[in-house]
Amino acid sequence: MGSVVLVAVLLYSRHHKSAKWWWRPALGAGFCGGFTTYSAFALKMDQYFEGRSITEAIVYAVASLLGTFILVFSTHELLERKLVK
């Protein structure tokens, strides 16, 4: 979800110039940077590896990466269409 928020912030800032420059890094690097830490992902991967569940680890990693890509791409396309109108 943090990646979705980040792409929304980036697209919004591209199409809406603001004199208040500080909100982009505050939301982008600050909020989204903290929100998208991969600590939960790393913890789950560690649990899979400690349990010797290599197949589950690979499935989880691929699903996480593909899911993030699909969400970011979909959000980008949807917002780009809405913002260009």
Encode pLDDT of 41-64 as tens digits: 888 899 999 998 999 999 999 998
Which residue range(s) make up the domain with 50?
Answer: 2-84
Listed residue (12, 7, 5, 4) closest to 67, CA to CA: 4
Count the domains in the chain. 1
Ranges of the chain with pLDDT below 50:
none
Q: Which amino acid is at 38?
A: Y
Q: Quote the CA–CA distance of 33 and 48 in Å, as a whole number.
A: 25
The residue length of the chain stands at 85
Q: Quote the CA–CA distance of 43 and 52 in Å, as a whole number.
A: 14
In this prediction the pTM is 0.62
Counting Cα atoms < 13 Å in the Cβ hemisphere of 58 gives 4
